[in-house]
Structure formats: structure tokens, C-alpha cells
Structure 1
Amino acid sequence: MLKLKTAAAILVLFMTNFCQAGKATEDSIYHFIRFNVGNVSKYEAFLTKLEQNVKNNKGEILTRGLQRSSSCLENTCRDVNIVIRFPNKKRANKSFKKIKPQISIAAFSDLSYSSSVQLVLPLFDFDAQENHFFIGELNVANITAFRNQYETKTAQLVAFHGGTTSTVDKSSKCLLGNCYSANILISFPTIQQAHNWYYSPEYQQLIPIRQSLSQGRSLVLTE
């Protein structure tokens, strides 16, 4: 009887761990890598090493955001917008230390590699079909006003259009290059829903508010 209970406990533990695999948790760390490609062949070699590195550290590349599959909505965007989710800070740091020497080989200008360490909005799990992302890179002057006048209303609109706000951090750690202070990551099940949200009259009215409270360098919609 004891053996059966032990086996059942192990099974429950295994299933719990399995269900949590690949999901966002409060300990999840997001790495944002943005740069312009200097050499395509070197970039492809870098991407291969990055994929293996992320896999070894139990992470997941959410989007590669290549130029050919991305839409630059505002300001100056980069050729590549990579977002990686790691299960914890230890794994994220280990991955960065390993891949850091390869970054300069693949990039030639406007490099930024930042880590999201403080999440303000609730986390949502990614559905398997949610592979269209809005990625924002901002410097926020007044966090309180930004949250009250823009962030809360935007989150409501995102939910209305079927999207999930995955991370909005106000204290990114700049690991390499010239980073901005805040990273925004929003996911949508379809590209049409993402367009419906961004180009909706309600959100278009919020854009001037965001621009008055922050400086954005890159707002990208990846497919």
C-alpha cells in the first residue's frame, strides 16, 4: 500500500512538473535581443548556437522577429527582435554568459540585450497558437502617470481583442549595448487580432498619451 502511495505521489509530481513546463511563472525571466544584421551567414550561425544554448538552459525562444516577418509600427526598428523566456534568473544568466561572445559577431549597430526582472502586470500563459507579438521598447519618465493614463486602459483593450499582456517591466537590466528602461511584450492568437487592437480607434487615442509620457525607440509587430 505504501509503495502504491509513493508511486502515486511521484506520478502527481511528474504531472505537475510536466504541466508547468514551457509556461510563464512569477519567476520567469524574459531576455530581449535587438540588433541589425551585419552578416547574414554569421547571423544564421549565431542563431543556431543561440537555439541550442536556450534549449540547454530550459528556455524558449518566443519570437525571432526577423525583418521579413515583422512590421515596424513606430520609430526605428531593428532587423532582428528576439524574445526568450527562461524559467528563472539563474538559467537566464547562465545562457547570457555563454552566448555573449557570439553577439558582436552577428550584430553591427543599435544592439540592445536586456533582461526583464520585474513584472508589473499579471502573467498569462502562452497558448500554443499565440505566436504574434507586439514588442515595445520605451523610456518612461513618469511611471505612475504612465500606469494610470496608459497602461491600464491598454491592457483592457488588449484583452478585448483577444490578446494577453505577458510582461511590462519598468526596471530592465541592460546586459549589453544601448537599452531602454522598459520592455513590453503582448501576444495575440492571430495577426488580424493584433492589427485590430493596434489600429482600433480606442488605442489610436492612447498613442499620443504614451508618446507624451515616454520615449519609444522600437515598436514591432512580429508574425
Structure 2
Amino acid sequence: MKMIFPIFFAFSLLVSHSCANILFDYCVGDLSLPSGPAGYSCKDPTTVTVNDFVSSNLRVPGNTANIFKFGATTALVNQFPGINGMGISMLRSDMDVGGVVPIHTHRVSELIIVVEGTILAGFIDTNNTAFYKTLNKGDVMILPPILLHFQVNVGSTPSVVYATFPSENPGVQVLSAALFQSSLPSEIVEKITLLDHAQVKKLKKVFGGIN
């Protein structure tokens, strides 16, 4: 009995602390103002409507007319103000046959579910171990935060994948774009990638980089 009271007391403090942090029902983002580390400022509650809590973005297929045969549509906070402060967002990924989601990283973890088609998805950890598997319709995979990850359509039909993130704005950095679409001088890219000058210049031209 002596042990139960301290445990109950600690649990009560935890619950009361969690409840004390919920000061508002919601904080719909005011997209007319700049965002900061804490997200957007709250919209005037008297102007909030149900439409702030609804997004139809993911109905629209991503544009796959590009070098990767891949396109994405997103429901992030800057398009979906109702998720401001909620710590969640979603994305739709479309790939044509042979298409790829190029290797990239986010600030947070990612949970994907295959809605149509067959893909190969995976990530590489900090020990340079690759974890990858062929996924079919209905399969779910978790991709840890920060780590480089990718998807490839290995099926005979276009694929559709939905992803969810524990953040309203998970951020994304595509490795190839970071190297070849940026203003980083070609000489530096050559040194840090071991690619030759001609290859770097070719890729800079493809991705629209300078220097």
C-alpha cells in the first residue's frame, strides 16, 4: 500500500500536467503571417470555419512529368491551416512505372502505406546498413527520422503511396538536388563526391545548378 500511493501521486501529476498544457481546442494557423519555430500564430477563432479542418489536396495526383517519374501532393500546415500545432501532416506520392522517389531525408519519421502498385522502399542507417523491401498494396513501412530513404516503383502499373509525419512541417532535403541544384561550386562537389568534372557539370545542367 505504501508503494501504491507514490505511484498514483506521480501518475496524477503527469495527467494533470498534460491536461494543463491543453489551453485551447485548436490553433488554426493564420497563413497571412510568417511562421516561426512554434508554427503559425493562431487565426482569430471567430473567423474559423470547418473548411480550415479539411483538405482535398490528396485527391490530386502528383505531376510525374519529370526525370524521376515521380510527383507529390502535400497536406502540410502552409496548405492545411487546421493542423497547425497538431504535430501531424500527410503526403501523396505518385510514381509512373520505373519511377523513383530520389534519396532524401526529413527532420522527422515517416510512415508510408502503399495504396496502389508495388514499390521497393528502404533507408540507410548511420552504420551504412541498407534496409529495404518490396511492398505491395496495403503494406506499411516506418522510415526513421533523419536517415536517407527512397522508393522505387518496381511494378508494372503506376503506384500511389500515402505518407504521414509527426510534424506539421517535416521538411525535406533531396540529396541530388542539394548537390546539383545548389550554388555549391563544381570543384567542391567533385571533391566531396569523387565524381569527375564532366559528370558534375552534366548533373548541374540537368538539375539547374550554377557554378
TM-score by length of 1: 0.26
Q: State TM-score, norm by structure 2.
A: 0.27
**Structure with more relative contact order (C-alpha pairs < 8 Å, separation 6 or more):** 1
Larger radius of gyration: 2
Tell me which protein shows more helix as a share of its residues: 1
